Amino acid sequence: MGRGRRRIGLLLVLVAVAASVTTVLVDAAWRVESRRPRVVLMGAGDQLSVWVAAGDARLLLASGDDPAAFGNALAQVRRATAPRLDVLLVAGEGRRLLAPAALVNESGARLVAAVGPLGSSPEAEAVGATTLPMLSGSRRFRLPDGLSVVIEVDQVEGAGEEAPDDGSG
């Protein structure tokens, strides 16, 4: 009986060690992969959203009328070991704000801003359109590895407040 328990104990230790090594290797591979700059276009119903990652920096331009497609696409590009989002830019009007609506309140992003006016609709209220700062003119976001994202916004008279400078532009 003692030998059987030892074998079971040894088996459990081997399984734990194998699981730990596998986890460390997968995490290391994801970290190496996430260090390379990536630009990913994601389908979100009738619009495209854009995920840009370089080094530890992540920027998302979110729009679309299909929250399920958006969520699935976002799950594909986000790494479980690094789900952080630094800059969330919301674009669109009406139903085109359905995809980013849930993300605005849960993203934890350092900067959440509107790209142009978001209009007046229940969806705009869901993303907090009246409280989001709005980008105006041209805005450059500098990411690691020499990657830059430039957002050009048409000037709209009477638009909301300008987004604060986060030091990246």
- Please choose, from the candidates 98, 94, 90, 93, the residue with its C-alpha nearest in 3D space to the C-alpha of residue 66: 98
| Spans of the chain, pLDDT less than 50 | 158-162, 169
Give the containing element (helix H, strand E) for 125: helix 122-126
Instruction: Report the pLDDT value the prediction gives residue 84, as an integer from 0 to 100.
Output: 80
Instruction: Report the pLDDT value the prediction gives residue 26, as an integer from 0 to 100.
Output: 73
Contact yes or no for 158/104 (Cβ under 8 A): no
Instruction: Report the pLDDT value the prediction gives residue 60, as an integer from 0 to 100.
Output: 93
Instruction: Report the pLDDT value the prediction gives residue 93, as an integer from 0 to 100.
Output: 87
Instruction: Report the pLDDT value the prediction gives residue 160, as an integer from 0 to 100.
Output: 46
Instruction: Report the pLDDT value the prediction gives residue 31, as an integer from 0 to 100.
Output: 62
pTM: 0.70
Long-range contacts, 127-135 (Cβ 8 Å, 24+):
127/90, 127/97, 127/100, 127/101, 128/104, 129/97, 129/160, 130/160, 132/90, 132/104, 132/160, 133/160, 133/161, 133/162, 133/163, 133/164, 134/159, 134/160, 134/161, 134/162, 134/163, 135/89, 135/162, 135/163
Contact yes or no for 108/136 (Cβ under 8 A): no
Instruction: Report the pLDDT value the prediction gives residue 35, as an integer from 0 to 100.
Output: 64
Instruction: Report the pLDDT value the prediction gives residue 87, as an integer from 0 to 100.
Output: 92
Instruction: Report the pLDDT value the prediction gives residue 50, as an integer from 0 to 100.
Output: 93
**Residue 114 identity (one-letter amino acid):** A
